[in-house]
Amino acid sequence: MTSFSDLSIIIPSYNARHHLTRCLTAVRDALPGAEVIVIDGASSDDSATMVAQEHPEVRLHVERNHGWAYATNRGVELSTRRFLLFLNSDAYPTRDAVVLMLERLEQRRDVGAVAPMLRNEDGTRQSLFGFWYWPTWRDIKKPTLAPVLSAACLMTTRERFEQVGAFDEAFFLYNEEFDWCRRAHKAGLGLEILPASVVHVGGGSTTKGPLLTLEGWRGFVYLSAKHWPRWVTRLLSQAMRLQGLVFKHVDPRPGYRSMWSQLESIMKHQEYTRSPFDVSGRGVPNLCAPLAREPE
């Protein structure tokens, strides 16, 4: 069995203090010896203070909030171990699940990444990626190939991460794992769900609103432009443009009317990388090369 001393755990966090303290306690108790890195996106809920005071074993870095992909990539840049576990601040890993993930990656060099089954706090399976995603409702009893894995709890090796490339920072939130998993398949690597479970609250640091809704749709069309035939992207963008054109006039919610107008504009001008949030501008950075740091 691979020791936890070979493992770096990267936890992006933003205004999720309640979940983060529970996550870090679970990590400390279950995975002693692992390198734990928290990338805090300048939270306003004293998350960073809590980490510094209650979890001195954690390497804490406060960064501008450029989204999940940037925070995770920043954690990879700072990490030093062979295995990389990407963990949401509202996911609570167990020793058994992590050991199984480590062992599987050690055994199978053709597997790019592995993930456990995600469960709600009541023990039920968590619904992921819509009704079409069959691994959500299939009982996983052995390592099972899957088209995409949730990055709420996903493990890979540094070598395989570099082979696939970093997460695309043109995504602020949502769609990053679809893009990375698609690139892993193109690199000839399999993705597996393992017969182990981890509790994931889901939405622990985000509340769905008009801008996140816009980001989800904008990111989905950007994902399409990267990986699907051009006609698919054009069809999606035209449908979303029409949706925006209509609903910016009829939606009774002022914040959403503005969002529909932005959606129409993005799709009209095919500006699929135009996020409503402050993305880093790095795209898919080369994390093997030294990068200029932003001012603190």
- DSSP for 191-212 reads EEEEEEEEEE-SSTT----HHH
Four-residue CA torsion sign, 193, 197, 202, 204: negative
Question: Do 7 and 36 contact (CB within 8 A), yes or no?
Answer: no
Does residue 179 sit in helix, strand or coil? helix
The pLDDT value given to residue 133: 86
The pLDDT value given to residue 254: 87
Per-run averaged pLDDT (10 residues), the chain, 296 residues = 83 95 96 97 95 96 96 97 97 97 96 96 88 84 96 97 97 96 97 96 70 95 97 96 95 92 96 96 82 40
DSSP code at position 126: P
Identify residue 203 by its one-letter amino acid code: G
Of the options 3.40.50.300, 3.40.50.2000, 3.90.550.10, 3.50.50.60, the CATH number for the domain spanning 4-200: 3.90.550.10
Residue 165 to residue 238: CA distance in whole angstroms: 31
Identify residue 94 by its one-letter amino acid code: T
Residue 243 to residue 190: CA distance in whole angstroms: 37
Is pTM beyond 0.85? Reply is yes
Domain ranges of the chain: 4-200, 210-268
CB proximity list for 53: less than 8 A, separation 6 or greater:
none
The pLDDT value given to residue 3: 65
Residue 14 to residue 20: CA distance in whole angstroms: 9
The pLDDT value given to residue 9: 98
Tally DSSP H helices, then E strands, for the chain: 9, 9
Alpha helices in the chain (DSSP H): 17-30, 47-54, 68-78, 95-107, 158-164, 176-186, 210-227, 230-250, 254-268
